[in-house]
Amino acid sequence: MELNEWAFIGAFFMLSWIFPAAPVIINKLIAPNRPTPIKRETYECGVETVGDTWVQFKVQYYLLALVFLVFDVEMVLLFPWAVAYNELGMFAFLAGGVFILLLLEGLVYAWRKGALEWT
Amino acid sequence: MEFTYETVAFFIFALTTLGSGIMVVTDENLFHASLYLLFSLFGVSGLFVLLVAPFLAAVQVLVYMGAIGILIIFAIMLTRGMMKMDQVYNSQRVAAAVVAVLLFIALAVTLTPIVDELEFGEDLNAELAEDPVADVTYETVNELGKVITDRNGFVLPFEVASLLLTAAMIGAIVVAREDEA
Amino acid sequence: MTELLTDAGLSKDFATFLTHLITAGAVATVFLLVPIFTIWLERKVSARMQDRLGPNRVGPYGLLQTIADVLKLMTKEAITPANADKVVFFIAPILMVMSVVLIVAVIPYGENFAPTDLSIGVLYVIAISSLGTIAILMAGWGSNNKYALLGAFRVMAQLVSYEVPMVLALLVPVMLAGTMRMNGIIEAQDSIWFIFVVPVSALIFFVSATAEVGRQPFDLLEAESEIVAGFNIEYGGMQFAMLYLGEWLHAVLICVITAILFLGGWDGPGAKDALLTLPIIDLELPVLGIFYLAAKSFLIYFLHMWVRFTVPRLRIDHLMGFNWKFLVPVGVFNLLVVAFAWKIMPEPDSSSLGDELPRALVVLASNVLFVMLIFFVIRDYARRERAKVEALVDETVYAAASAGD
């Protein structure tokens, strides 16, 4: 039964955090712990840290995430198409082709507008 | 109520979803709030699994956590000065509460008859009890693929979805570019 | 195994659950020990390729070097920076390993021998891997360090971008097999491996998978010389080791996934019959299947290493350009080409090699034509670019010459 397979994933989830957590905790127990203010400073190549880390980022990253999101949704919609493809006719190829080419048009637009440039 | 492993799992996922949801709106640190949002969405994907809809569960993780979550975090990084909010609550609390209650009532009224009609849990469980090795999911994904490429099915919405995605991308680029110039 | 536990007096549900836990623990442990070997292997191979000796002091051929390293890291003080976002900083390495280890759950080793064979197999792998990006972002943010955050953002940009061609390439085996089930994809390659049918997809998958695990030439997550190590700069001791382990295990697993998708996974001569029955727990271990899978994965891993120690690191703008302006369009058109070629030939009567061959050859021919077309387009583009540059040079030289007069 399907749910039984997922019960395995659930069990794996419950277990999987132990593998990385155990060495980290053992490390905390057996390693020396002598923090000093200098040691706990932020490491930026020996130069003292200036200003806030959590600064404003370029709009470029946001655009990239957006283009990715669009493609992600597209690919997710293509999965059922791909799975059923063997049982479908030529019309399915046309439907998928139109779907993909419409999106490619968006990519061409992003390309022309320079949203894909990384400067 | 029967207390099975599924009920336990359901309550864990439901509590994850709701608890993290509350943390999203109350946490002062926007980055933490967005992480709670991801956690909440993860709970929803667990609920999808319990409904024997693993395709939707994977889509939930892939699209919502992997793409929209990242988009939200990038958006936070773009808005300087939003890192620490002094005031979590704004002046529209009462209005928001009223809208939320109304929405809940509307959803409850419209959805309850539909769910009743489907005789949801019993039917599915009976079917699974009859044929425990039934390959339910494969069929659903396969059926979905057939329906979205069927001339008499949902081929038009399928193509319109593509058009919508393209429009969203173009719109976002136009807005972001204007902002920069 | 479940029977053994129910006989011992446990309820059926609980016995199943316990079996699940034990299976999960067993496969995860085995896979978590693999990097100990591959790290040694990688150091040794890189050394040989660069005319060095590599680790050779600890144990025979330096085999125990990695274990010595782990022991060293184990006794190192774990420093949490004073300004760090402590909870996020602590969770990030754990989530990183989790996101990779969970992939192990769907890897099959034999016909009926997989921890679990989910109906959405490959989609599950992609979805779980996307949790790793969140872990990296948490590490970068939690460190409260400009280099770390900058590195994390660059990694995000890279991972997110290369996921697109990777999934586009992955859609092709799913389409040919007609299922997302791991074992279904392997069975579909019973007569002929997909790499001989759709080599272009295999190549796209190989390249974008290299980027997805952040190895050279796509190792911008590390980039020691630019951002001093990226998102893991503030980590030390075991927490650093966990970030590292996640990365290495991901590199191994992506090779296993490639072997399953394009090289037929555990399938091979006699793999279905070579079963070793274990006593007590009554388990039929497909020894030959495991061997084939490991051998194929290792072959791909070696290719990864070969590329890694040969090609220099890319610049970030080149990296993004290569993805969005080359891999993504090629991936999209490749999907269309294969879909078309797959449809023009009639469905074969049986899945024997003789019946499958005509259709496979047509798809292969379409792939070859497609590659020729790509080369043609690139050559045309390169010629135009060169003409542009040459015109510019002529102009400058001419101007300089006339100025000299």
Take residue C246 and report the two structure tokens written for it: 């996640």
- Together in a domain, C54 and C172: no
Residues C216, C222: Cα–Cα separation, whole Å: 10
Given C75, C95, C119, which residue is the final one in a domain?
A: C75
Q: Report pLDDT digits (tens) over B110-161.
A: 887 766 655 545 555 565 555 554 545 456 788 888 888 888 888 888 889 8
Residues making up chain C, counted from first to last: 405
> Please, what is the Cα angle at C83 between C80 and C86, to 5 degrees?
50
The verdict on C96 and C188 lying in the same domain is yes
Spatial separation of the C-alpha atoms in residues A1 and B131, rounded to whole Å: 8
Name B105's Cβ contacts closer than 8 Å, sequence gap at least 6.
Answer: none
Q: Is residue A29 assigned to a domain?
A: no
Note the helical H segments in C143-198: 146-177, 182-188, 194-197
Neighbours of chain A (3+ CB pairs under 8 A): B, C
A116 in contact with B at a CB cutoff of 8 Å? no
Inform me whether the C-beta atom of residue B78 falls under 8 Å from chain A C-beta atoms.
Answer: yes
The residue of B72, B149, B156, B158 whose CB has the most chain A CBs within 10 angstroms, and thus the best one to mutate to test that interface, is: B149
Residues C85 and C26 in one domain: no
Indicate whether C288 and C397 sit together in one domain: no
CA distance B61 to chain C (A): 6
What is the sign of the dihedral through the CA atoms of B30, B35, B38 and B43? negative
Last residue of one domain, picked from the residues C27, C54, C75: C75
Q: Tell whether A38 is covered by a domain.
A: no
Query: Is the interface score ipTM higher than 0.85?
Result: yes
Instruction: Output the pLDDT for position C256.
Output: 93
Interfacial A residues in 12-51 facing B (CB < 8 Å): none
Confidence of residue B66 (pLDDT cuts 50, 70, 90): confident
* Closest CA relative to residue C130, chosen from C250, C35, C31: C250
Owning domain of residue C2: 1-75
Kindly determine whether residue C180 and residue B141, on different chains, have CB atoms separated by under 8 Å. Answer: yes
Could you tell me if C178 and C324 lie in one domain? yes
The number of C-beta contacts closer than 8 angstroms across A and B is 156
Domain boundary among C33, C55, C75: C75
**Shortest alpha-carbon distance between residue A111 and chain B (Å):** 10
Residue C228, Ramachandran bin (φ over 0: left; ψ between -120 and 50: alpha; else beta): left
pLDDT tens digit sequence for C218-274:
776 665 556 566 777 778 888 888 888 888 899 999 999 999 999 988 888 877 777
| B window 109-148, beta carbon within 8 A of C | 135, 137-138, 141
Looking at every residue in chain C, the average pLDDT score rounds to 85
Of the candidates C131, C179, C181, which has its C-beta nearest B65's C-beta?
C131
Cβ-defined contact of A61 to C339 (cutoff 8 Å): no
Residue C283 pairs in a beta bridge with: C278
Closest-CA residue of chain B to C89: B32
Backbone angles phi, psi at C153, to 5 degrees: -70, -35
* Domains of chain C: total: 3
In this complex, the residue of B35, B58, B69 whose CB is nearest that of residue C127 is B58
Q: Which residues of B touch A95 (CB under 8 A)?
A: 148-149, 155, 158-159
pLDDT for A45: 62
Residues C89 and C19 in one domain: no
Interchain contact, B4 vs C13, CB within 8 Å: yes
Instruction: Kindly state the average pLDDT of the residues A1-28.
Output: 84
What does the pLDDT read at residue B141? 83
Which residues from chain C sit within 8 angstroms of residue A44, using beta carbons? 145-147
Strand partners, C284: C277
Residues from chain C that touch B5, judged by Cβ atoms under 8 A, are: 13, 17
Q: Give the angle C53-C54-C58 at the CA atoms, nearest 5°.
A: 115
Whole-number pLDDT of residue C331: 92
Domain that holds residue A87: 59-113
Mean pLDDT of chain B: 79
Q: Does residue C369 share a domain with residue C299?
A: no
Task: Give the mean pLDDT of A54-71.
Answer: 78
Tens digits of residue pLDDT in C323-342: 888 999 999 999 999 999 98
Chain B touched by C119 (CB under 8 Å): yes
- Nearest by CB: A85 against C239, C241, C339: C339
Residues 85-124 of B with CB under 8 A from A: none
Cβ atoms of A33 and C49 closer than 8 Å: no
Q: Report the SS3 class of residue C285.
A: strand
Instruction: Find chain A residues with C-beta within 8 A of C98's C-beta.
Output: 16-17, 20
Q: Which residue of A has its CA nearest to B154?
A: A95
Q: Given B52, B79, B172, which is nearest A66 (Cβ)?
A: B172
Residue A77: inside a domain: yes
> Any residues with CB less than 8 A from the CB of A7 and at least 6 apart, and which?
B5, C16, C17, C20
Kindly state whether residue A99 falls inside one of the protein's structural domains: yes
Other beta carbons within 10 Å of A113:
15
Chain B neighbors of C155, CB-CB under 8 A: none
DSSP 8-state secondary structure symbol assigned to residue C218: S
Bridge partners, C285 (sequence order): C276
Condensed to tens digits (0 to 9), the pLDDT of residues B70-105 reads: 888 888 877 755 555 555 566 788 888 899 999 999
At residue C257, the pLDDT reads 93
Q: Kindly determine whether residue B70 and residue C156, on different chains, have CB atoms separated by under 8 Å.
A: yes
Residues 6+ apart with CB under 8 A from A50: none
Contact B169, A110 (CB under 8 A): yes
DSSP assignment, residue B132? T
CA dist C4 and C22 (Å) reads 13
Q: Which residues of B touch C20 (CB under 8 A)?
A: none
Q: Are C76 and C70 in contact (CB under 8 A)?
A: no
Q: In a mutagenesis test of the B interface, which of C85, C106, C120, C163 is the best target, namely the one with the most B β-carbons within 10 Å?
A: C120
Interface touch A63/B179, C-beta < 8 Å: no
Q: Which stretches of chain C score pLDDT less than 50?
A: none
* Binary contact (C339, A17; C-beta < 8 A): no
CA distance A35 to chain C (A): 7
